[in-house]
């Protein structure tokens, strides 16, 4: 029988183990036995807590989204001004935990899984809406709302693209380099919208 009070600890251990297993194999085609072994529990106990591997994988993605949302809320609360809030969102997207190789691999595997799983597709759509909404809310204080939405969409696409490059090893992207690329794109987009006299005075 499961020990009283251990369920939250073991559920968290299983989610972490799922991320590790997916990261190592680069696919969601991992076994419950492998995940349970990494978490230090029996497969039977893993099934007791989650019912099935699909339920565990769905909870793993929810966990990633909760962590991302928690970090975003915290970073936004500390940011001073709309441009700083945009930077905070970008930094959180490439935070050490989110940009760790196994986490990036897990995100990429979930994107692949979304082609066949409605549940995963809905979770990814939720992530995309939150990212776009957070970016737009801050950018709309710096430029017209239609332009803010466009810049937010482009920035979100760049973040996703940098994740894919990181996952595939297509470029030696560090966290700092990824942040700098996203920041440069936002700065360039905002600069194109600045009135001529503002551009001149900035020079």
The domain that holds 22 is classified in CATH as 1.10.357.10
Q: Name the CA radius of gyration of the chain, rounded.
A: 20
109 lies in some domain: yes
* Residue (of 87, 86, 107) closest to 98 by Cα position: 107
- The dihedral over CA atoms of 21, 72, 178, 144, expressed in degrees to the nearest 10, equals 140
* Phi/psi-derived region of residue 3, left when phi > 0, alpha when psi is between -120 and 50, beta in every other case: beta
Q: Which structural domain range is residue 163 located in?
A: 7-194
Count: domains in the chain: 1
DSSP state of 97: T
91 pLDDT above the threshold of 60: yes
Using CA atoms, how far apart are residues 174 and 83, in angstroms rounded to an integer? 23
pLDDT bucket at 155, cuts 50 / 70 / 90: very high
Specify the range with the lowest mean pLDDT, choosing from 123-127, 128-132, 134-138, 174-178: 174-178
Average pLDDT on 2-10 reads 74
């Amino acid at each position: 029988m499961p020990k009283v009070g251990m369920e939250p600890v073991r559920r968290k251990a299983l989610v972490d183990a799922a991320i590790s297993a997916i990261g190592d194999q680069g696919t969601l085609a991992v076994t419950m036995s492998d995940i349970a072994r990494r978490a230090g529990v029996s497969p039977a106990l893993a099934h007791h807590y989650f019912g099935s591997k699909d339920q565990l994988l769905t909870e793993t993605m929810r966990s990633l989204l909760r962590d991302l949302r928690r970090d975003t809320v915290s970073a936004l609360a500390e940011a001073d001004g709309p441009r700083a809030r945009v930077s905070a969102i970008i930094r959180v997207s490439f935070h050490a935990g989110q940009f760790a190789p196994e986490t990036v691999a897990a995100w990429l595997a979930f994107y692949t899984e979304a082609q066949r799983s409605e549940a995963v597709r809905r979770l990814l759509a939720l992530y995309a809406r939150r990212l776009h909404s957070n970016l737009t809310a801050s950018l709309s204080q710096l430029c017209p709302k239609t332009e803010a939405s466009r810049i937010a969409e482009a920035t979100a696409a760049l973040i996703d693209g940098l994740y894919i490059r990181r996952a595939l090893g297509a470029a030696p992207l560090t966290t700092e380099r990824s942040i700098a690329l996203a920041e440069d794109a936002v700065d360039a987009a905002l600069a194109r919208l600045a009135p001529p006299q503002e551009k001149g005075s900035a020079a």
